[in-house]
């Protein structure tokens, strides 16, 4: 809410008000502005009334919401509210959600909404015109109805078109988003409030591998500057994925049910599978189920070469029980995830089983003076790896089972208090406890290399993190907004005594067991962000963040310098060998970022956003060379994790312009996203690993009544700034053309399209090396970069009720 009358005299006074928010709470309390009432009708693109659409009005200052449903005539009416600025969100499964910031005046007000046909995710993300809850300008939020994305993509691919994001390819379900050149655990990945640890020395089961893209309803990406309330134990940024909020019956119905069933087929690699989401609810109780199954075979690249170990199969089941009454919401989610197999073309190993069982209990209570949002969670992960048949030139002789068991548990609690009309205070606490056992059974007959004893890679590894934070969002006047936050994460790590397959591992094990493994890191993060809205069409923002990540269990505790054992450690897709370092310090990033956003006054016809940034990372966790080895014509490095200062700078750009918009000829627009970044290690001046070269995407999209169609083009520059320490390959530039079309009948939608239409051969700049081809060739020849998918056509069908 913007209150212009209470303008302060000076910045000093303003700062004092931030530092003493509790005093202001006592002194001023809530103001009593006028009362407003909003009502209207929700239409579909054919101008028919939409029954049962969920209408949510949120106060961006407090996050508190009013929710209602449209009746049989598509009408909605919200209760009386104080006048001011709100976010209006309207959603109905099967249609694209509507999101807009509105200003309510005193008295009754009418707002009719037309929900559009959802756009498939191939098109480029439009810069968000709305930034709820004090998110940075550079943050991007995408929303959709459940089931609008079928699982022909991994959840990570939902982020691929977002400014500041590039994808590091791995197994079919394990791709990792890189935000401003930082990926993996440098990015905080939060799915339904839960951060799951990697329970694998190769990170084959990252957090996003547990979420079906079809069950992601809202995806928020914050590259670089992140409010401390959404950060912690990460330095690159935060990705938040939420499944759909529970559905409850509307005002004019006693009970409510809805569902979406979809299926897809993709020809290159023969991917196919169904998704189902269903809800049954009355006014107070709701039960939902969402399930998906998908199978993928190996794809072929643009030269017709089959890229082996790009197969996968996966099943996801989530049951949701929810209850609500005035001011209270309780949600219990139980998940069962099963991946029976998944190939990893850029690793020495493949996944042969991964089971994840999770429980997630959420309680939200509105006290009137503030809102508490708390969650408790648990996940157990059972993960097994072995060498898949595709890889081995010597069938069965290379059998090497590895089993990992991880357990995550903890809570998050956030309290949001609107102190007065100007300041909102957020306080929070988190605990994340992670237990890991990484156990490699003996393989009889292979003494002394892999027998007679099992290899204890991580034995009773523990990583416990306790966090506290406080944050103030302040709306000083109609032009200035600030966000200030401070956060402490204390990380305790330890691990038990280890041992190897045989005496040949004994020296390393004894040296490791002889010293203490307990480590405590006290990490301090801070974020300061200021936004200036010059006029209705121009906004500027500048921010600074200090963020810290403590090492993971393998970075500190991978103990063996044996070539084979160290070759099993590493999540980089580079074929190198990694050894841990007990002396490793947390890495600390200092990021400065600015954003400028321009758009037409109504935020409908055009928008442009530019975000330059620079990050200096103190004690960046890189590596030192221990030794090199050569097999065939390829050289590999054995590396020990080590702290070195590093720097990444770059710029993101995003824009869109409407070409035409009328009832007769529909809506057409052009969108564009570009990214440039450069990263180097400061002591050696060498390139950092996995830096995406200059890249841009542009798209044309047209919607006309029930039709939607578009074209997209992606251009990626040659990758020449590579990490010489890891023998990272250079990759040539390329361009990819795609197209898609859909037709919607209301209860049914048909999607069809194609990717890489010109069947272009290209090497993935962040894909690492093709270890499969190299191993299948008997460890001979020159190892090559992993190549991308050739032409691929897909079709999808969605039914809803």
* Minimum CB distance to Cu ion smaller for 175 or for 656: 175
Minimum Å gap between C-beta 306 and Cu ion is 23
Q: Does 493 bind Cu ion (CB under 5 A)?
A: no
Minimum Å gap between C-beta 185 and Cu ion is 15
Q: How far apart are CA 619 and CA 585, in angstroms?
A: 7
Pick the stretch among 197-205, 332-340, 366-374, 485-493 that binds Cu ion (CB under 5 A): 197-205
Q: Does 166 bind Cu ion (CB under 5 A)?
A: no
Minimum Å gap between C-beta 385 and Cu ion is 4
Residues 6+ positions from 577 with CB-CB distance below 8 Å: 563, 566, 567, 569, 570, 629, 636, 637, 638, 639
Residues 6+ positions from 780 with CB-CB distance below 8 Å: 631, 632, 633, 774
x-marked contacts with Cu ion along 382-401 as a string, rule CB under 5 A: ---x----------------
Minimum Å gap between C-beta 310 and Cu ion is 16
* Minimum CB distance to Cu ion smaller for 311 or for 613: 311
From residue 53, how far is each of 98, 233, 673 by CA, in Å?
11, 38, 32
* Minimum CB distance to Cu ion smaller for 113 or for 786: 786
Minimum Å gap between C-beta 342 and Cu ion is 9
Minimum Å gap between C-beta 462 and Cu ion is 20
* Minimum CB distance to Cu ion smaller for 221 or for 402: 402
Buried-exposed string 365-377: b where 16+ CB fall within 10 A, e elsewhere? ebeeebbebbbbb
Nearest alpha carbon to residue 104 among 80, 86, 78: 86
Nearest 5 degrees, angle CA 224-CA 651-CA 677? 85
Q: How far apart are CA 309 and CA 734, in angstroms?
A: 24
Residues 6+ positions from 423 with CB-CB distance below 8 Å: 17, 18, 21, 24, 472, 473, 474
The DSSP string of 39-64 is EEEEE-TTSPBPTT-EEEEE-TTT--
Pick the stretch among 155-163, 199-207, 424-432, 759-767 that binds Cu ion (CB under 5 A): 199-207
Minimum Å gap between C-beta 344 and Cu ion is 8
Minimum Å gap between C-beta 349 and Cu ion is 6
- Contact 316/334 with Cβ under 8 angstroms? no
Task: Please tell me whether residue 276 adopts helix, strand or coil conformation.
Answer: strand
Minimum Å gap between C-beta 451 and Cu ion is 21
* Minimum CB distance to Cu ion smaller for 580 or for 796: 580
Q: Which residues pair with 612 in a beta bridge?
A: 651
Size of the site for Cu ion (CB under 5 A): 4
Pick the stretch among 194-202, 261-269, 710-718, 739-747 that binds Cu ion (CB under 5 A): 194-202
Minimum Å gap between C-beta 404 and Cu ion is 6
Task: Please tell me whether residue 22 adopts helix, strand or coil conformation.
Answer: helix
* Minimum CB distance to Cu ion smaller for 384 or for 488: 384
* Minimum CB distance to Cu ion smaller for 385 or for 472: 385
Within 566-595, the residues that bind Cu ion by CB under 5 A are none
Task: Please tell me whether residue 555 adopts helix, strand or coil conformation.
Answer: helix
Question: What are the two backbone dihedrals, phi and then psi, of residue 6, each rounded to the nearest 5 degrees?
Answer: -90, 55
Residues 6+ positions from 213 with CB-CB distance below 8 Å: 149, 150, 151, 153, 154, 155, 157, 158
Within 701-740, the residues that bind Cu ion by CB under 5 A are none
Closest CB to Cu ion: residue number: 200
Within 212-251, the residues that bind Cu ion by CB under 5 A are none
Minimum Å gap between C-beta 201 and Cu ion is 6
Q: How far apart are CA 632 and CA 272, in angstroms?
A: 38
Structural tokens at position 713? 């083009």
Pick the stretch among 187-195, 204-212, 537-545, 693-701 that binds Cu ion (CB under 5 A): 204-212
Minimum Å gap between C-beta 80 and Cu ion is 56
Task: Please tell me whether residue 259 adopts helix, strand or coil conformation.
Answer: strand
Pick the stretch among 42-50, 381-389, 584-592, 731-739 that binds Cu ion (CB under 5 A): 381-389
Pick the stretch among 318-326, 380-388, 448-456, 610-618 that binds Cu ion (CB under 5 A): 380-388
Q: Does 204 bind Cu ion (CB under 5 A)?
A: yes
* Minimum CB distance to Cu ion smaller for 133 or for 383: 383
Q: Does 443 bind Cu ion (CB under 5 A)?
A: no
* Minimum CB distance to Cu ion smaller for 430 or for 574: 574
Pick the stretch among 27-35, 200-208, 481-489, 787-795 that binds Cu ion (CB under 5 A): 200-208
Q: Does 200 bind Cu ion (CB under 5 A)?
A: yes
Instruction: Verify cis geometry, omega within 30 degrees of 0, for the bond prior to 507.
Output: no
Minimum Å gap between C-beta 443 and Cu ion is 17
- Contact 628/567 with Cβ under 8 angstroms? no
x-marked contacts with Cu ion along 514-533 as a string, rule CB under 5 A: --------------------
* Minimum CB distance to Cu ion smaller for 82 or for 401: 401
Minimum Å gap between C-beta 183 and Cu ion is 17
* Minimum CB distance to Cu ion smaller for 385 or for 545: 385
Q: Does 352 bind Cu ion (CB under 5 A)?
A: no
* Minimum CB distance to Cu ion smaller for 293 or for 344: 344
Residue 456 CB-density burial (10 A; 0-12 exposed, 13-18 middle, 19+ buried)? buried
Length of the chain: 801
Within 760-789, the residues that bind Cu ion by CB under 5 A are none
- Contact 73/43 with Cβ under 8 angstroms? no
* Minimum CB distance to Cu ion smaller for 299 or for 571: 571
Q: How far apart are CA 189 and CA 330, in angstroms?
A: 23
Residue 19 CB-density burial (10 A; 0-12 exposed, 13-18 middle, 19+ buried)? exposed
Q: Does 202 bind Cu ion (CB under 5 A)?
A: yes
* Minimum CB distance to Cu ion smaller for 68 or for 198: 198
Q: How far apart are CA 336 and CA 293, in angstroms?
A: 12
Minimum Å gap between C-beta 356 and Cu ion is 13
Minimum Å gap between C-beta 438 and Cu ion is 9
* Minimum CB distance to Cu ion smaller for 200 or for 331: 200
CB atoms within 10 A of CB 256: 17
Minimum Å gap between C-beta 347 and Cu ion is 8
- Contact 41/60 with Cβ under 8 angstroms? no
Q: What is the largest CA-CA distance in the chain?
A: 83
Minimum Å gap between C-beta 112 and Cu ion is 52
Pick the stretch among 170-178, 272-280, 379-387, 549-557 that binds Cu ion (CB under 5 A): 379-387
Q: How far apart are CA 173 and CA 316, in angstroms?
A: 12
The DSSP string of 449-502 is TS-SSPEEEEEEEEEEEEEEEEEEEEE-SSSEEEEEEEEEEEEEEE------SS
* Minimum CB distance to Cu ion smaller for 200 or for 263: 200
Within 130-149, the residues that bind Cu ion by CB under 5 A are none
* Minimum CB distance to Cu ion smaller for 36 or for 204: 204
CA 449 distance to own-chain centroid: 40
CB atoms within 10 A of CB 163: 25
- Contact 224/162 with Cβ under 8 angstroms? no
Nearest alpha carbon to residue 509 among 570, 420, 405, 580: 580
* Minimum CB distance to Cu ion smaller for 200 or for 617: 200
Pick the stretch among 377-385, 651-659, 735-743, 772-780 that binds Cu ion (CB under 5 A): 377-385
Residues that bind Cu ion in the complex, under the rule CB under 5 A: 200, 202, 204, 385
């Amino acid at each position: 809410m913007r209150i212009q009358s209470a303008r302060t005299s000076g910045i000093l006074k303003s700062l004092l008000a931030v530092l003493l928010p509790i005093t202001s709470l006592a002194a001023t309390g809530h103001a009593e502005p006028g009362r407003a009432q909003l009502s209207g009708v929700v239409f579909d693109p054919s101008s028919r009334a939409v029954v049962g659409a969920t209408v949510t009005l949120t106060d961006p200052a407090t996050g508190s919401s009013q929710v209602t449903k449209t009746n049989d005539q598509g009408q909605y009416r919200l209760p009386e509210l104080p006048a001011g600025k709100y976010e209006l969100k309207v959603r109905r499964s099967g249609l694209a959600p509507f999101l807009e910031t509105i200003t309510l005046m005193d008295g009754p007000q009418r707002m009719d909404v037309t929900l559009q046909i959802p756009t498939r995710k191939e098109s480029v993300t439009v810069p968000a015109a709305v930034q709820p809850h004090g998110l940075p300008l550079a943050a991007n939020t995408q929303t959709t109805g459940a089931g609008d994305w079928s699982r022909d993509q991994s959840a990570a691919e939902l982020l691929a078109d977002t400014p500041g994001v590039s994808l590091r390819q791995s197994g079919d379900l394990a791709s990792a988003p890189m935000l401003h050149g930082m990926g993996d655990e440098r990015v905080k990945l939060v799915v339904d409030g839960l951060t799951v640890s990697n329970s694998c020395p190769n990170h084959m089961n990252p957090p996003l591998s547990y979420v079906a893209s079809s069950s992601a309803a809202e995806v928020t990406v914050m590259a670089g500057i992140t409010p401390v309330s959404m950060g912690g134990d990460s330095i690159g940024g935060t990705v938040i994925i939420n499944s759909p909020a529970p559905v409850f019956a509307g005002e004019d119905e006693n009970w409510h049910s809805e569902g979406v069933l979809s299926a897809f087929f993709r020809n290159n690699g023969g991917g196919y599978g169904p998704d189902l989401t269903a809800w049954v609810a009355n006014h107070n109780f709701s039960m939902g189920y969402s399930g998906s199954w998908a199978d993928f075979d190996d794809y072929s690249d643009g030269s017709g070469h089959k890229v082996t170990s790009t197969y996968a199969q996966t099943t996801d089941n989530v049951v949701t029980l929810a209850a609500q009454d005035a001011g209270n919401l309780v949600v219990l989610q139980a998940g069962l995830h099963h991946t029976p197999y998944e190939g990893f073309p850029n690793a020495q190993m493949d996944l042969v089983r991964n089971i994840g069982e999770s429980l997630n209990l959420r309680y939200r209570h509105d006290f009137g003076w503030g809102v508490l949002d708390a969650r408790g969670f648990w996940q157990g992960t059972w993960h097994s790896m072995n060498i898949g048949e595709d890889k081995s030139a010597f069938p069965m002789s290379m059998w090497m089972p590895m089993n990992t068991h991880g357990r995550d548990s903890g809570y998050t609690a956030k309290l949001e208090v609107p102190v007065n009309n100007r300041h909102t205070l957020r306080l929070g606490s988190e605990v994340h406890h992670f237990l890991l056992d990484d156990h490699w059974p003996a393989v009889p007959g292979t003494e002394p290399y892999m027998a007679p004893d099992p290899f204890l890679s991580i034995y009773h590894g523990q990583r416990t993190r306790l966090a506290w934070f406080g944050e103030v969002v302040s709306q000083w006047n109609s032009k200035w907004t600030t966000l200030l936050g401070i956060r402490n994460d204390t990380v305790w790590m330890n691990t038990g005594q280890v041992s190897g397959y045989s005496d040949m591992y004994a020296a390393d094990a004894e040296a490791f067991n002889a010293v203490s493994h307990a480590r405590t890191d006290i990490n301090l993060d801070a974020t300061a962000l200021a936004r200036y809205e010059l006029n209705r069409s121009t906004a500027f923002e500048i921010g600074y963040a200090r963020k810290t990540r403590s090492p993971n269990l393998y970075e500190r505790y991978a103990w063996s310098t044996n070539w084979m054992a160290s070759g099993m450690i590493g999540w980089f897709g580079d074929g190198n060998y990694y050894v841990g370092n007990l002396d490793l310090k947390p890495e600390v990033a200092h990021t400065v970022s600015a954003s400028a956003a321009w758009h037409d006054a109504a935020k409908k016809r055009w928008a442009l956003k530019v975000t330059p940034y620079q990050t200096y990372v103190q004690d960046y966790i890189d590596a030192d060379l221990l030794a090199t080895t050569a097999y065939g014509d390829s050289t590999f490095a054995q590396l020990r994790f080590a702290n070195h200062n590093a720097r990444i700078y770059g710029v993101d750009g995003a824009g869109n312009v409407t070409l035409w918009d009328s009832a007769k000829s529909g809506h057409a627009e052009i969108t564009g996203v570009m990214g440039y970044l450069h990263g180097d290690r400061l002591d050696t001046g060498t390139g950092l690993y996995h830096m995406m070269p200059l890249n841009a995407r542009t798209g044309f999209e047209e919607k006309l009544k029930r039709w939607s169609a578009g074209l997209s083009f992606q251009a990626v520059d040659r990758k020449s700034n590579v990490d010489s320490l890891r023998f990272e390959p250079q990759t040539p530039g390329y361009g990819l053309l795609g197209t898609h079309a859909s037709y919607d009948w209301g209860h049914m939608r048909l999607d069809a399209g194609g990717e890489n239409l010109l069947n272009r051969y290209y090497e993935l700049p962040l894909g690492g090396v093709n270890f499969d081809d190299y191993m299948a060739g008997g460890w001979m020849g020159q190892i090559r970069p992993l190549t991308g998918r050739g032409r691929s056509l897909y079709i999808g069908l969605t039914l809803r009720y």
